[in-house]
């Protein structure tokens, strides 16, 4: 049997474009006499459709698309993903389904059993779990279907409660009772730099445990804040990776089942992917698809001479091209000459347009106007925040006037600690580095400069500073980033308590200070722009903390 995998970049809700892409890949497979073509989870509508699923008309259009696709599947078997209606009187309205198409018709429908409701997933909100298992008899082979979480009965890493078994039964156990020859896996797994190899291990362990080949198809591309890396897998019955599709791009590959199952064949030796490289690629794809799928073309960035805006600018140019990125350099009396010179040097190296607008006159005007109201109160963060908001006003004015989208340049460490200004440096339509800790930002800068200096060395070596007052350094208000990020990771990603973090050997006073900063800044993060998610736990709907919660 000749089996093909189609790893595509879907646009959530754009049923016409998605259907067109699916049909083109079916026709391509037909030209190569493919027997079975597999697409990813919810491929017709794209993942995740979220509350579009609350509209019956949307689901009806999805099913109409499935029917139109089925009509061209006259000589090829195709497995695609789509929501479907639950016709029973009880339960949720929908199923997360896989459709087997052949001979011009829908031959069978298979539903997802395990519905994740952790992190960014909320499938229990929409879908009814499956409780019937069946296989496909096709061209002399028995084919099982598993949809994403159905492989994840046993989690590779214990959650913060120490549990690895989150479900009552294993869909794969049930499926294996029907003796399939191989399993088609339709998945939609968002990127997280630390989980690439762990995910691969999940599929390998399933294959090895049951002694069965797996053909696992993931989508690629970015939808809103989620990036999907692709990396679809073919795994033989020995639990070895036979092949892996490209990361962060569309791919189409064909396999002979006999070659995958040949006991003399050895698994593919895969190098562990560099998380810094992968994170950079994910951020580039996240920016590119955000603009493309929303119909935007041009970006504007506030270039400060600091590491965050420098890395954001490089990512934007890589994603959109130098002609579509423009920078504003907005120095004040507190901006170091080196910062200004390095900002100009970076803009010229990248080949992007830039303008220098000094903000001191505006700052002085604000100070003059507010002095009677402030009644000679001493300067504090107020004056620093005014400068940040002046810059954001100028950036947004240019964004409006020229139709450019403002990219936010704040990092995850700053956002976590509340080291940011509402309506100031928190402005922007998309937070490029909002899920990247400061230490990782420096690693990405090193990756960018690995072959030639793109980001000026002064930007990388200079102590980080907001430059909003004389001789200011981030370390005046925060623990050093090496320590801060270790505390943040354990508190945010690992859900560890202050006492547990202290027991790990981290400075007790820094732990207490950091956790207090995180807890007291939730109201700011509620007003942050959407963040490109590249970690296990990003701010946003993947981390739902009560706005006024106290613990």
Could you give the residue numbers annotated as active site? 41, 112, 148
* Contacts (Cβ under 8 Å, ≥6 apart) of 214: 182, 183, 185, 203, 206, 207, 233, 234, 235
Which tokens is 205 given?
């362990």
Which of 211, 190, 208, 199 minimizes the C-alpha distance to 244?
Answer: 199
* Contacts (Cβ under 8 Å, ≥6 apart) of 83: 42, 45, 49, 53, 59, 62, 94, 95, 96, 97, 126, 127
Calpha distance 221→11 (Å, rounded): 8
Q: Is residue 162 over pLDDT 80?
A: no
pLDDT for res 168: 84
Which of 439, 447, 445 minimizes the C-alpha distance to 457?
Answer: 445
Average pLDDT over residues 226-233: 97
Mean pLDDT of the chain: 95
Q: pLDDT tier at 376 (50, 70, 90 boundaries)?
A: confident
H/E element holding 407? strand 405-408
Which tokens is 213 given?
């080949």
**pLDDT, tens only, 345-366:** 999 999 999 999 999 999 999 9
pLDDT for res 301: 98
**pLDDT, tens only, 60-118:** 999 999 999 999 999 999 999 999 999 998 999 999 999 999 999 999 999 999 999 98
pLDDT for res 69: 98
Q: Is residue 223 over pLDDT 90?
A: yes
pLDDT for res 224: 86
Average pLDDT over residues 533-539: 92
Longest dimension (CA), the chain: 87
pLDDT for res 306: 96
User: What are the C-alpha distances in Å from 482 to residues 409, 420, 436, 486, 490?
Assistant: 20, 19, 13, 7, 13
CB 57 within 8 A of CB 69: no
Helix, strand, coil percent content, the chain, rounded in steps of 5: 40, 20, 40
**pLDDT, tens only, 453-485:** 999 999 999 999 999 999 999 999 999 999 999
The 8 Å CB, 24+ separation contacts for 235-239 are 235/203, 235/204, 235/207, 236/207, 236/260, 236/261, 236/265, 236/267, 237/207, 237/211, 237/212, 237/213, 237/261, 238/207, 238/208, 238/211, 238/263, 238/267, 239/204, 239/205, 239/207, 239/208, 239/209
Percentage of the chain beyond pLDDT 90 is 89
Calpha distance 380→353 (Å, rounded): 35
Percentage of the chain beyond pLDDT 70 is 100
Calpha distance 318→194 (Å, rounded): 23
CB 250 within 8 A of CB 1: no
The pTM assigned to this predicted structure is 0.96
pLDDT for res 150: 95
* Contacts (Cβ under 8 Å, ≥6 apart) of 246: 7, 220, 230, 231
**pLDDT, tens only, 443-453:** 999 999 999 99
pLDDT for res 267: 83
């Amino acid at each position: 049997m000749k089996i093909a995998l189609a790893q595509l970049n879907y646009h959530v809700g754009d049923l016409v474009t998605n259907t067109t892409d699916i049909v083109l890949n079916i026709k391509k497979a037909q030209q190569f006499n493919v027997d079975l073509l597999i697409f990813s989870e919810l491929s017709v509508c794209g993942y995740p459709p979220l509350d579009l699923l609350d509209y019956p008309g949307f689901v009806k259009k999805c099913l109409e698309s499935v029917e139109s696709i089925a009509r061209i599947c006259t000589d090829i078997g195709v497995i695609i993903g789509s929501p479907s209606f639950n016709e029973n009187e009880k339960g949720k309205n929908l199923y997360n389904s896989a459709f087997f198409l052949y001979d011009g018709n829908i031959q069978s429908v298979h539903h997802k059993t395990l519905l994740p409701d952790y992190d960014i997933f909320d499938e229990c909100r929409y879908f009814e779990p499956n409780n019937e298992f069946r296989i496909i008899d096709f061209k002399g082979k028995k084919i099982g279907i598993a949809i994403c979480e159905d492989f994840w009965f046993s989690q590779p890493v214990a959650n913060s409660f120490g549990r690895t078994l989150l479900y009552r039964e294993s869909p794969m156990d049930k499926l294996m009772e029907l003796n399939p020859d191989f399993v088609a896996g339709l998945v939609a797994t968002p990127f997280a730099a630390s989980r690439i190899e762990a995910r691969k291990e999940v599929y390998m362990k399933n294959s090895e445990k049951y002694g069965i080949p797996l053909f696992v198809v993931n989508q690629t591309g970015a939808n809103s804040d989620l990036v999907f890396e692709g990396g679809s897998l073919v795994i033989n019955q020995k639990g070895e990776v036979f092949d892996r599709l490209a990361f962060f791009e569309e791919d189409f590959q064909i396999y002979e089942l006999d070659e995958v199952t040949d006991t003399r064949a050895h698994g593919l030796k895969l190098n562990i992917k560099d998380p810094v490289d992968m994170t950079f690629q994910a951020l580039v794809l996240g920016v590119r698809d955000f603009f493309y799928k929303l119909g935007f073309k041009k970006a504007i960035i506030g270039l400060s001479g600091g590491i965050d805006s420098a890395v954001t600018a490089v990512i934007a140019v890589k994603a959109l091209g130098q002609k579509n990125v423009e920078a504003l350099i907005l120095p004040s009396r507190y901006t170091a000459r080196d910062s200004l010179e390095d900002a100009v040097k970076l803009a010229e190296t990248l080949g992007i347009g830039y303008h220098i607008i000094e903000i001191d006159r505006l700052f002085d005007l604000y100070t003059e106007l507010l002095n009677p109201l402030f009644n000679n109160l001493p300067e504090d963060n107020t004056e620093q925040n005014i400068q940040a908001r002046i810059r954001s006003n100028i950036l947004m004015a240019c964004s409006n006037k020229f139709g450019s989208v403002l990219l936010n340049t704040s990092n995850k460490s700053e956002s976590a600690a509340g080291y940011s200004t509402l309506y100031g440096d928190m402005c922007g339509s998309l937070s490029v580095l909002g899920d990247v800790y400061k230490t990782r930002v420096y690693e990405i800068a090193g990756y960018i400069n690995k072959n030639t200096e793109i980001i000026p060395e002064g930007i990388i070596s200079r102590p980080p500073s907001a430059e909003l007052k004389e001789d200011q350094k981030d370390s005046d208000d925060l623990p050093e980033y090496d320590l801060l990020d270790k505390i943040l990771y354990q508190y945010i990603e690992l859900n560890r308590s202050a006492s547990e973090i202290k027991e790990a050997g981290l400075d007790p006073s820094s732990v207490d200070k950091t956790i207090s900063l995180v807890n007291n800044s939730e109201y700011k993060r509620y007003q942050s722009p959407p963040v490109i998610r590249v970690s296990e736990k990003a701010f946003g709907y993947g981390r739902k903390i009560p706005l006024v919660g106290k613990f």
